[in-house]
Amino acid sequence: MRIVVTRNLPEPALELLRSAGDVRVSRQDRALEPAELRAAVVGADGIVAMLGDRVDAEVAEAAGPGLRVVANVAVGYDNLDVPALTGRGITVTNTPGVLTEATADLAFALLLMATRRLGEGERLIRSGTPWSFHLGFMLGTGLQGRTLGIIGLGGIGRAVARRARAFGMRIAYSGRRRAPAEVEAELDAEYLPQAELLAEADAISLHCPLTERTRHLIDAAALAVMKPSAVLINTSRGPVVDEAALAEALRTGGIAAAGLDVFEREPAVHPGLLELDNAVLIPHLGSATVETRTAMAVLAARNVAAVLSGNEPLTPVGA
């Protein structure tokens, strides 16, 4: 069995893959260009892919008829053309669950950074600007009693809601589906139509996948509905937000602040955002802990090993 890995993985995952086949790891430790990816996968029975690797019909064609599994080392899989792959009988897998807590921690860190102006404070000190404690210095806003609006109350959205409850926040949510009654009860979460959620929330945190339905879900019109005091947090996918419209809303006081872990044209960031003190900008670190990245890679490897040995995948998508 030939297993092609598009970027280096933690050793425990590579070990698992080596027990399942002949492993080839791309020497470029970055997302491969389409032509590079097609060249790399020739003859592959399994592909381990990740963010930025566009795996579509052409890549499947390039791999050849032996390709049986594409394992994404991510919970999001908008980089894969799932119908094109599953339509060819190829199993597609992602890594749900193992990154839920790390991503929720990061979303909450962004919420605290944005509301308490922590990036701005860091920059102030590092710039050598004189400062002293006084009662009106760099005031932010508290979270207690405020409403967190979660768009997409899946695993990560729920984990963020639990943190927010511990901070005394009220939880409202919207999304394609209503959460089960026991989840609503546990979080004391109120389901609202999206327009109402946007209008009522003091902070909005995005936890939906990127699909045609969610592309630019937060556009100029949505931002205009939000409170001028509201904060937007995005740890999902950059294109869920119209970044130019967000930069404009942050610049003109349409909303108060944003905390972004993901960008529309990643790794590029809209130049308008770079100039703004009320934008917290983090380089896609949602799942970036040693434990979580290892668990993600191992889960992807277990999916590949399962499929190549004729067993059911652990975490298939689009099945």
**Nearest Cα to 171, choosing from 157, 188, 159, 183?**
188
Question: Quick one: 43 or 142, whose CB is closer to ligand GLV?
Answer: 142
Binding test (CB under 6 A) with ligand GLV, winner from 47, 71, 75, 306 = 75
Phi and psi at residue 288, in whole multiples of 5°? Answer: -85, 65
Asked if residue 231 lies in contact with residue 202, where contact means CB atoms within 8 angstroms, the answer is yes
- 99 touching ligand GLV, by CB under 6 A: yes
- 9 touching ligand GLV, by CB under 6 A: no
Stretch that binds ligand GLV, among 68-76, 83-91, 196-204, 272-280 (CB under 6 A): 68-76
Question: Quick one: 72 or 174, whose CB is closer to ligand GLV?
Answer: 72
Q: Is 237 a catalytic residue?
A: yes
CB of 50 vs ligand GLV, minimal distance in Å:
8
At 115, the amino acid letter reads T
CB of 51 vs ligand GLV, minimal distance in Å:
6
Q: d(Cα 63, Cα 44) in Å, to the nearest integer?
A: 5
**Nearest Cα to 202, choosing from 144, 138, 260?**
144
Q: Which residue has the tokens 């404070």?
A: 121
* Among 237, 270, 293, 302, the one annotated catalytic: 237
- 154 touching ligand GLV, by CB under 6 A: no
CB of 93 vs ligand GLV, minimal distance in Å:
12
266: region left, alpha or beta (phi > 0 left; psi from -120 to 50 alpha)? beta
CB of 76 vs ligand GLV, minimal distance in Å:
3
Q: d(Cα 138, Cα 117) in Å, to the nearest integer?
A: 7
Q: d(Cα 60, Cα 292) in Å, to the nearest integer?
A: 29
- 209 touching ligand GLV, by CB under 6 A: no
The widest CA-to-CA distance across the chain, in whole angstroms, is: 69
**Token pair of 108, please?**
């909450």
- 238 touching ligand GLV, by CB under 6 A: no
Q: Is 284 a catalytic residue?
A: yes
- 286 touching ligand GLV, by CB under 6 A: yes
- 287 touching ligand GLV, by CB under 6 A: yes
* Among 7, 163, 170, 284, the one annotated catalytic: 284
What does the angle CA 282 – CA 292 – CA 142 come to, to the nearest 5 degrees? 45
Question: Quick one: 76 or 175, whose CB is closer to ligand GLV?
Answer: 76
Question: Quick one: 143 or 299, whose CB is closer to ligand GLV?
Answer: 299
CB atoms within 10 A of CB 201: 27
CB of 252 vs ligand GLV, minimal distance in Å:
30
**Footprint of ligand GLV on 47-66 (CB under 6 A):** 51
Q: d(Cα 5, Cα 130) in Å, to the nearest integer?
A: 50
SS3 288: coil
Phi and psi at residue 211, in whole multiples of 5°? Answer: -140, 175
Binding test (CB under 6 A) with ligand GLV, winner from 76, 149, 259, 313 = 76
Rule CB under 6 A: which residues touch ligand GLV? Answer: 51, 74-76, 99, 286-287
Catalytic residue list:
237, 266, 284
